[in-house]
Amino acid sequence: MAFSPQERHAIAFSSFPDHNERDDSSLTFSWRLPRLQEDGSTPTGSYLYGYCYFCQQKNPSIRRGYAQRSLAIVTKHSRLAGLFTKLVNLLGETYFRDRGGGSPAVETAMYNICRWPALTPGTVELAFLNHILSVEIPLSHQAQYRLPRSSSHLAFNIPPPSPASIPVLASLPATPLSELLRELISQLWLIWELMILGEPVLVYSTDAKRASELVQWLVTIVRPLPFGGDWRPFFHIHTPDFARMLNNNKPQAGIVLGATNPLILSAARHYPHILRISPATRSDEPVQGVFGTLARSTTTGSSFKDAQASAHGVFSERKRHVKKDTVVLKLAEERVRAGDFAAADSLLLQCFSTLTERFLVPLNRYFSTLLPADTHDGMSTPQQTRHFNPANFMHSLKTHGTPLAFRRGKMPSMHVHSIGSDASATTSAVAFYEAFLRSPNFLAWLRDRSETLQSTARSRYLHRLETANPERYLQGKTDADVSDLISRLESEARLTEEELQKTPTLMSRQRSASYDVNMLSSSTEARHSAELKNRSQRLRSQVERVKALRQAGIDSSEDSDASSVGGKSSLGGH
């Protein structure tokens, strides 16, 4: 992974917090930066993800009075915040503990990473700096949470497992969500709505660790829905696209910024939703939570002044429309008061995962109607999926409803035809889904579903081409059908062989990039190559079978009665 001079500059500035209140301290935080074109200013559409260990120490010999250093791990992985935070913590502690002799630790870390297996979904064991990490990696966009301890464990007073024996949940930030929000967890249902609908949100704290972790949490709580907006865990005034992301215009949909600089808080006064969280406190120290309303388009209103003055609060133009789960909320608040944030998170994350799944039911129901009927004619070209039609989806929603429970009351909507016994709740549901269809999250969901469907359909199509009986398929088919089948088989065989030729080059390139953790082990490489080779052989075999059948049909036709001359030539079926 090579960096342009502009990217190096951005990485350096992003790896130092712009606000730190402690003299001797260390903290971890993360950032997300767009990759740039060769001109250094145009984003490519891909991103770099950085995980930093920042260390500040008193040093009278320096004019400032203290020395600041930062160590960063940069990756292209977007959904492994928990894993990389753990890695940079272990590496940073070792590196800065050894003072000037930290380079061997970096070399050892790079050597460890190069020997890792593929970071595929499931539980993997990773060696890193004399540690063996058990890491649980979720499926793409899969919600991840720990199951709460069973009642039998609590009843018999069985102690919890030691922290060292607990697997790392690869996609979750290190600090529990309930610990970050504390008395604000009752507002999580509103926050969930904001994230589902892709509303622009500013997260502000004087602590870069807490601001960046909360941004990571916000894009996590909507899983299994993929978040399609642009999120920046640590946004600062030297960010390359600062002027595009933060200006006097209406904020972009789906933008989520984490900031620690008061100048950014002031510049974002027109943002419709601001989450402000206090610096880290002791678990037994009370934090006063605030919930306020921002007046729309206000620049100097008292609500924004409250957001500036408060150390901990949620300030939003929006009123919540989805019903809270009061049972889960009560249990989570009890766990928070007891200081058991892990148990509170288990309850909350499971609740919001279920909430998102309920929200997706009408979308998945309608999407299933777009799928082509599976044909038993094994070697035919697969049918195309129909396009998503918003009007047809809304009709399906009004007809079948949604399992997501809404409060009474109306959301503003231009096109609402309420049905059902609770018209106000139905109106809210229709308007809620209308707003979602305008959000970047809908496009991300549709793209994800379509790609998954196309990948599955292609795999099934290739399997049918490889295994189907061509003689049965070609019964009653014309010469044009036979030629088409040979062409498709040869085309798929060529594509497979081209992929097979590229595989060794791709693998060697990945192994040479010692800081890229997406390593494929030699066994995985061999298995992938063997699969491609076998597919190519099966397709080539099918080509020969079809050609033989065509030749047999031609020979049979030449030996038949001359009365067949001038008729349409076909194979079998007479």
If you write DSSP's letter for every residue of 458-479 in order, what string do you get?
A: HHHHHHHHHHS-HHHHTTTEEH
Same domain for 230 and 331, yes or no, is yes
Q: Is the pLDDT of residue 354 over 50?
A: yes
Same domain for 330 and 415, yes or no, is yes
Question: Any idea what the Cα angle at residue 161 is, between residues 156 and 166, rounded to 5°?
Answer: 145
Same domain for 522 and 430, yes or no, is no
Residue 465 to residue 138: CA distance in whole angstroms: 32
The model's pLDDT over 316-352, given as tens digits with 9 standing for 90+, comes to 988 899 999 999 999 999 999 999 999 999 999 999 9
Which residue type occupies 228? G
Q: Which SS3 state, helix, strand or coil, does residue 389 take?
A: coil
Domain contains 203: yes
The model's pLDDT over 29-57, given as tens digits with 9 standing for 90+, comes to 999 999 877 766 667 788 999 999 999 88
What's the distance, CA 422 to chain centroid?
A: 35
Q: What percent of the chain stands above pLDDT 70?
A: 77
Domain contains 354: yes
pLDDT for 294: 47
pLDDT for 424: 54
Same domain for 423 and 529, yes or no, is no
Domain contains 207: yes
Same domain for 285 and 216, yes or no, is yes
**Mean pLDDT score, 540-567:** 70
Residue 320 to residue 407: CA distance in whole angstroms: 8
pLDDT for 506: 44
Domain contains 47: no
Domain contains 253: yes
Q: What residues have CB less than 8 Å from 343, skipping those under 6 apart?
A: 148, 149, 335
Q: Is the pLDDT of residue 411 over 70?
A: no
User: Which residue would you say has higher pLDDT here, 334 or 98?
Assistant: 334
The model's pLDDT over 306-320, given as tens digits with 9 standing for 90+, comes to 666 566 789 998 889
pLDDT for 458: 85
Give the residue carrying structure tokens 């991103």: 47
Residue 269 to residue 260: CA distance in whole angstroms: 14
Model confidence at 527, pLDDT cuts 50, 70, 90, reads confident
- Checking 138-142 for CB contacts under 8 A at 24+ apart, the result is 138/79, 138/170, 138/171, 140/79, 140/226, 140/448, 141/79, 141/223, 141/224, 141/225, 141/226, 141/448, 142/171, 142/223, 142/224
The number of distinct structural domains making up the chain is: 2
Residue 430 to residue 428: CA distance in whole angstroms: 6
Same domain for 197 and 329, yes or no, is yes
pLDDT for 457: 82
Residue 510 to residue 503: CA distance in whole angstroms: 11
Domain contains 2: no
- Identify whether 224 is preceded by a cis peptide bond (ω within 30 of 0): yes
- Other CB atoms within 10 Å distance of the CB of residue 533: 14
Same domain for 482 and 535, yes or no, is yes
Residue 129 to residue 108: CA distance in whole angstroms: 7
Domain contains 359: yes
Q: Which of 46-50, 61-65, 293-297, 343-347 has the lowest mean pLDDT?
A: 293-297
Same domain for 267 and 399, yes or no, is yes
Tokens at 240, concatenated: 């390359």
pLDDT for 574: 43
The model's pLDDT over 498-525, given as tens digits with 9 standing for 90+, comes to 988 886 554 444 444 433 334 444 566 6
Domain contains 149: no
Closest by CA to 331, choosing from 151, 528, 64, 203, is 151
Residue 148 to residue 345: CA distance in whole angstroms: 9
Whether pTM exceeds 0.85? no
Which residue blocks in 369-437 are alpha helix, DSSP H? 390-400, 423-437
Contact present, 1 and 38 (Cβ < 8 Å): no
CA dist 83 → 55, 104, 113, 125, 378 (Å): 20, 21, 12, 12, 44
Tokens at 479, concatenated: 């010469």
Contact present, 419 and 413 (Cβ < 8 Å): no
Q: How far apart are the first and last CA of the chain?
A: 62
Q: Is the pLDDT of residue 230 over 50?
A: yes
The model's pLDDT over 193-215, given as tens digits with 9 standing for 90+, comes to 999 999 999 999 999 999 999 99
Q: Is the pLDDT of residue 84 over 90?
A: yes
Contact present, 200 and 218 (Cβ < 8 Å): no
pLDDT for 557: 56
**Mean pLDDT score, 276-287:** 62
**Mean pLDDT score, 148-172:** 63
Same domain for 502 and 416, yes or no, is no
Same domain for 341 and 423, yes or no, is yes
Please give the residue range of the domain that contains residue 543.
468-560
pLDDT for 515: 36
Closest by CA to 179, choosing from 70, 81, 296, 281, is 281
Per the prediction, the chain carries an average pLDDT of 82
Same domain for 556 and 417, yes or no, is no
Q: What is the DSSP string of 473-515?
A: HTTTEEHHHHHHHHHHHHHHHHHHHHHHHHHHHHHHHHHH-TT
Same domain for 480 and 421, yes or no, is no
Task: Classify 99 in phi/psi space as left (phi over 0), alpha (psi -120 to 50) or beta.
Answer: left
Contact present, 305 and 177 (Cβ < 8 Å): no
